[in-house]
Amino acid sequence: MPEPALRTPRALCRALFEAAVKTALPARIVPGNLPSPPKGRTLVVGAGKASAAMARALEAVWEGPLSGLVITRYGHEVACRKIRVLGAGHPVPDAAGQAGSAEILALAQGLGPDDLMIALISGGGSALLSLPVSGVSLRDKQALNTALLRSGQPIGAMNTLRKHLSAIKGGRLALAAYPARCETLAISDVPGDDPATIASGPTLGDASTLAQAREILRPLATQLPQTLMAALKNPANETPFPDDPRLADSHARIIAAPMMSLAAAADLARANGYQAIILGDAIEGDAEVVARDMAKTALAMQKRQRRVALISGGETTVTPRGHGSGGRNVQFLMALAKALKGAPGIVALAADTDGVDGSAEIAGALIDPDTPARAETLGYPLAAALAANDGHGFFARLDDQVVTGPTLTNVNDFRVILITP
């Protein structure tokens, strides 16, 4: 472990992020969490940004025959020997995801009581499992996903809609596999780590209802195809509840979660001489509001003249105002820099642990006390970029982007604010 003096605050921010990601890598967490083999066949299915890496980690240690199919975001594929890996569109679903979802459902329907289905689920799986209910087209689902991403709806509300408009989510995949045993290994990217929420819970019962889904859709209904509301009025599209007896032998295990990664980063911060404070792993709300609140906390901590690392996770939202390129992490950072007003000794990083902030292959960015002044010098004032929702364009000019490529895991956002006297 390097001595604290050998790491600048900016370098330490990067190291803390890397520690958070490393803790959640499938090769580290899948092997020790596998179920016992069945008497019959083993089918591996999955969806999410980490699903292909999870499948490879499973293959490396599994004793006995297996087969299956997992769907991951384009660019996140890794080679497997026995499990087929399919790339598909994310965050907007596409035809590849729809075809793959239909194939997964068909594979599950061929299982018997002595068989085992292992579901490898991670963040991003909801868009990748794009198999609509009868009467709803892929184009309808694409329009819904685009509207939801722009609406700022919390992830729970989005998933309620997605479950009731899907032929595979909200427990329907487990129903298809019945009476086989179903064991789900999940990497959590959701506040609260509820496995029924991750990728819209394809193997677990759903406590939400069609009536709740209709209320969520109602404010958006006039700008979306009428087929969506019609589907939500069809009783056949009610998802199975958690106490459905056909789901009695479907179990889920969280094998990586945001708090585990935050704790690893906190340990590294302490080893480098900082007092580590974890503000929470499930922080939600508007990114700019969260940033202003954290700026107040950071400025208050600065007065104590101690080295402090404020670490947090969760999933904020962005209120669209402009037409720039960005995501919630870079929007948070621009708002944080504005609120800090160049306060000395405060450096921050915010990035998504999957390597994708928004829809771009950019994880996030860094700010330091000079960020506002450097932006002015380059002719792109912070306030203008913030109003345009152009975080990626802003930090590209400053050369302060954090670009990792696909990390092959996903435990939601990671934020650290380092305060140095």
Q: Tell me the residue range of the domain where 16 lies.
A: 4-22+259-419
> Which of 204, 237, 256 is the C-terminal boundary of a domain?
256
Residues in the chain: 421
Asked if 208 and 269 sit in the same domain, the reply is: no
- Other beta carbons within 10 angstroms of residue 84's beta carbon come to 15
Asked if 250 and 264 sit in the same domain, the reply is: no
Instruction: Please report whether residue 213 resides in a domain.
Output: yes
Instruction: Please report whether residue 155 resides in a domain.
Output: yes
Asked if 202 and 274 sit in the same domain, the reply is: no
Reply yes or no on whether the pLDDT at 349 is more than 60.
Answer: yes
What are residue 401's DSSP bridge partners? 365
The CATH code of the domain that includes 342 is 3.40.1480.10
**Cα–Cα distance for residue pair 60/262, rounded to 1 Å:** 28
Instruction: Please report whether residue 13 resides in a domain.
Output: yes
> Which of 230, 256, 282 is the C-terminal boundary of a domain?
256
Asked if 237 and 183 sit in the same domain, the reply is: yes
Q: Looking at the whole model, is its pTM more than 0.75? A: yes
Asked if 278 and 149 sit in the same domain, the reply is: no
Instruction: Please report whether residue 28 resides in a domain.
Output: no
pLDDT per position as a tens digit, 10-20: 999 999 999 99
The least confident of 83-87, 136-140, 181-185 is: 136-140
Asked if 264 and 252 sit in the same domain, the reply is: no
Mean of the pLDDT values across residues 313-330? 92
pLDDT of residue 1: 44
Instruction: Please report whether residue 47 resides in a domain.
Output: yes
Asked if 239 and 367 sit in the same domain, the reply is: no
Reply yes or no on whether the pLDDT at 335 is more than 80.
Answer: yes
Domain count, the chain: 2
Asked if 198 and 160 sit in the same domain, the reply is: yes
pLDDT of residue 159: 85
Instruction: Please report whether residue 46 resides in a domain.
Output: yes
What are residue 417's DSSP bridge partners? 310, 348
Asked if 70 and 139 sit in the same domain, the reply is: yes
Asked if 141 and 170 sit in the same domain, the reply is: yes
Chain-wide mean pLDDT for the chain?
A: 95
How is residue 300 written in tokens?
């208050």
Asked if 395 and 377 sit in the same domain, the reply is: yes
pLDDT per position as a tens digit, 182-191: 999 999 998 8
How is residue 204 written in tokens?
């677990």
The β-bridge relationship of strands 116-121 and 83-88 is unpaired
Those residues whose C-beta lies under 8 Å from the C-beta of residue 147, and which sit 6 or more positions away, are 220, 223, 224
Mean of the pLDDT values across residues 386-397? 97
**Cα–Cα distance for residue pair 114/129, rounded to 1 Å:** 26
Mean of the pLDDT values across residues 33-43? 97
The least confident of 15-24, 77-86, 136-145 is: 136-145
> Which of 241, 256, 271 is the C-terminal boundary of a domain?
256
pLDDT of residue 6: 52
**Cα–Cα distance for residue pair 276/257, rounded to 1 Å:** 19
The least confident of 140-149, 171-180, 402-411 is: 140-149
Asked if 144 and 273 sit in the same domain, the reply is: no
